[in-house]
Amino acid sequence: MKKRRLYLENTPAEEALEKYMAALAGKLQLNYEEIPVVESLGRKTKEAVMAKYSSPMFNAAAMDGIAVIAERTYGASEVNPLILEENRDYIYVDTGDPINEPYNAVIMAEDLIEQGEGKLKILASVPRWNDIRPVGEDIVAGEMIIPGKHIIRAIDIGVLLSAGITEVKVIKQPEVAIFPTGSELIEAGEEPQEGSIVESNSRMFENMVTEQGGRARRFPILADDYEIIRAKVQAAVRDHDLVIINAGSSAGREDYTVHVLEELGEVIIHGVAIKPGKPVILAIVEGKPVVGLPGYPVSAYIAFKNFVSPILRLLAGQGAEETKRVKAVITKRLISSLKHREYIRVKVGDVAGKMVASPLARGAGAAMSLIRADGFCVIDQNSEGIEAGEEVEIELYRDIDQVKNTLMLVGSHDLILDLIADKMSNLTADTYLSSTHIGSLGGLMALRRGEAHMAPVHLLDEEEGLYNIPYVKRLFDEPMSVIKGVERIQGIMIKKGNPLNIKTLSDLRRVRFVNRQRGAGTRVLLDYLLRKKGIIPEEINGYAHEAATHMAVAAMVKSQSVDAGIGIYSAAKAMNLDFIPIGKEEYDFVIPNRFLDLAHVQIFISILKSRDFKDGLLELGGYGWLKAGEVIAVK
Looking at residues 208 to 247 of the shown chain, list those that interact with a copy of itself (rule: CB under 8 A). Answer: 208, 210-211
DSSP symbol at 151: B
Q: Return the closest-CA partner of residue 348 out of 389, 383, 397.
A: 397
Q: Which stretch binds a copy of itself (CB under 8 A): 141-149, 237-245, 265-273, 497-505?
A: 141-149
Q: How far is CA 242 from CA 18, 174, 237, in A?
A: 17, 8, 7
Closest CA to 182 of 214, 139, 229, 235: 229
For a copy of itself, which is the closer residue by CB, 184 or 527? 184
Shortest distance in whole angstroms from residue 265 CB to a copy of itself: 25
Span of 45-53, 236-244, 477-485, 583-591 interacting with a copy of itself by CB under 8 A: 45-53
Site string for a copy of itself, 95-134 (x = CB under 8 A): xxxx----------xx-----------------xx---xx
Closest to a copy of itself by CB, 53 vs 476, is 53
State how far the Cα of 406 lies from the Cα of 326, in Å rounded to an integer. Answer: 15
Q: Pick out residues in 68-87 that bind a copy of itself (CB under 8 A).
A: none
Question: Taking the complex as a whole, how short is the minimal distance between the CB of residue 304 and a copy of itself, in angstroms?
Answer: 9
Task: Choose which of 199, 451, 487, 586 interacts with a copy of itself (CB under 8 A).
Answer: 199
The candidate with the shortest Cα–Cα distance to 481, out of 463, 457, 464, 462, is: 457
Q: CA 422, CA 414: separation in Å to the nearest integer?
A: 14
* Binding range to a copy of itself, per CB under 8 A, among 249-257, 329-337, 386-394, 448-456: 249-257
Binding test (CB under 8 A) with a copy of itself, winner from 19, 138, 225, 228: 138
β-bridge partners, 291: 244, 282
CB of residue 418 to a copy of itself, shortest distance in Å: 4
Which helix (H) or strand (E) segment holds residue 411: the answer is: strand 406-411
For a copy of itself, the binding residues in 559-618 under the rule CB under 8 A are: 559, 561, 574-575
User: Based on CB atoms, which residue is closest to a copy of itself, 47 or 461?
Assistant: 47
Question: Using an 8 Å Cβ cutoff, are 67 and 106 in contact?
Answer: yes
In sequence order, the 6+-apart residues with CB closer than 8 A to the CB of 474 are none
* Residues 466-525 interacting with a copy of itself (rule: CB under 8 A): none
Write out the binding residues for a copy of itself, residues 146-165 only, by CB under 8 A: 146-150, 153-164
Q: In whole angstroms, how close is the CB of 272 to a copy of itself at the nearest point?
A: 17
β-strand partners of 410: 436
| Contact pick of 175, 206, 563, 586 for a copy of itself (by CB under 8 A) | 206
State the nearest-atom distance from the C-beta of 172 to a copy of itself, in Å: 15
d(CA 15, CA 340): 12
Q: How far is the CB of 134 from a copy of itself (least distance, A)?
A: 5
Min separation Cβ 438 and a copy of itself, Å: 17
Q: Nearer Cβ to a copy of itself, position 433 or 505? A: 433
- Going by C-beta distance under 8 Å and a sequence separation of 6 or more, which residues neighbour residue 585? 458, 460, 467, 487, 488, 490, 521, 525
Of positions 21, 82, 141, 326, contacts a copy of itself by CB under 8 A: 141
- Residue 586 Cα distances to 41, 244, 500, 502, 621, angstroms: 55, 51, 30, 26, 15
Q: At what angle do helices 611-620 and 416-423 cross, to 10 degrees?
A: 150
478 Ramachandran zone, left/alpha/beta (phi>0; psi -120 to 50): beta
d(CA 97, CA 58): 9
| Binding-residue total with a copy of itself (CB under 8 A) | 128
Within residues 410-469, the interface with a copy of itself by CB under 8 A covers: 415, 418, 421-427, 430, 432-433
Piece of 57-65, 388-396, 474-482, 592-600 that binds a copy of itself (CB under 8 A): 57-65
* Residue 425 or 593 with smaller CB distance to a copy of itself: 425
Under a CB-based contact definition with an 8 Å cutoff, are residues 353 and 391 in contact? no
Of the candidates 109, 107, 106, 67, the residue with the CA atom closest to the CA atom of residue 89: 67
The residue among 1 and 79 lying less far from a copy of itself, judged by its C-beta, is 1
Q: Write down the least CB distance from residue 534 to a copy of itself, Å.
A: 26
Using CB under 8 A as the binding rule, the residues of this chain from 520 to 559 that contact a copy of itself are 545, 547, 549, 551-552, 554-556, 558-559
Rounded-to-integer distance, Cα 567 and Cα 574, Å: 12
Give the residue with the Cβ less far from a copy of itself, 382 or 560. 560
The 10 Å Cβ neighbour count of residue 333 is 12
Binding to a copy of itself by residue 621, rule CB under 8 A?
no
C-beta of 356 vs 554, nearer to a copy of itself: 554
Of the residues 235, 335, 352, 368, which one makes contact with a copy of itself according to CB under 8 A:
368
Contact, 203 vs 239, CB < 8 A?
no
Q: Which amino acid is at 348?
A: V
Measured distance CA(91)–CA(287) in Å, rounded: 69
Q: Output the smallest distance, CB 608 to a copy of itself, in A.
A: 16
330-359 residues in contact with a copy of itself (CB under 8 A) are none
Q: Which of 124, 231, 338, 371 binds a copy of itself (CB under 8 A)?
A: 371
> Given the complex with a copy of itself, which of 483 and 562 has the nearer CB atom?
562
Asked if 604 and 587 touch (Cβ cutoff 8 Å), the reply is: no
Write the DSSP assignment of 279-314 as a string of letters.
--EEEEETTEEEEEE-SSHHHHHHHIIIIIHHHHHH
Q: Which amino acid is at 298?
A: V
> Smallest distance from the beta carbon of 222 to a copy of itself, in angstroms?
16
